[in-house]
Amino acid sequence: MRMPISLDKYRAKLVIRILYSLPAQEAGKYIERTVLLLKRKNLATDTIKSFIDKIISQLESVRQMTTDTFKWQNIAMAILVLTELRQQLNK
């Protein structure tokens, strides 16, 4: 029997995917699929918003520490997509 993955573990895996996406647009696609999956699982909107906020916070922390242009671009793309998705959830 397969155990459900916790949101914390799922978020950690998503952050790693974002950092190593090639090209940066792939990071946006991973994020959009993830949020769609969470909606299909009928998670509360507030839970999804919190999930997004935590990812943004993690990415901003990593962005401050990285000098890798590739990762920096991925983080910037991801934060843009996450911010847009969060705004859509507010409507």
pLDDT, one tens digit per residue, over 45-75 is: 999 999 999 999 999 999 888 888 889 999 9
Instruction: Note whether residue 3 is domain-resident.
Output: no
Tell me if 2 is assigned to some domain. no
In 3D space, the residue among 32, 26, 86 whose CA is nearest the CA of residue 56 turns out to be 86
Diameter over CA atoms, the chain: 42
- 79 in a domain, yes or no? yes
Instruction: For residue 1, tell me if it sits in a domain.
Output: no
pLDDT of residue 42: 92
Residue 52 lies in a domain: yes
Q: Based on the structure, what is the number of domains in the chain?
A: 1
Torsion sign (Cα): 63, 65, 69, 71: negative
Q: Would you say residue 18 has pLDDT above 70? A: yes
- Give the range of the structural domain holding residue 65, as residue numbers without chain letter: 8-89
Q: How confident is the model at residue 81 (pLDDT cuts 50, 70, 90)?
A: very high
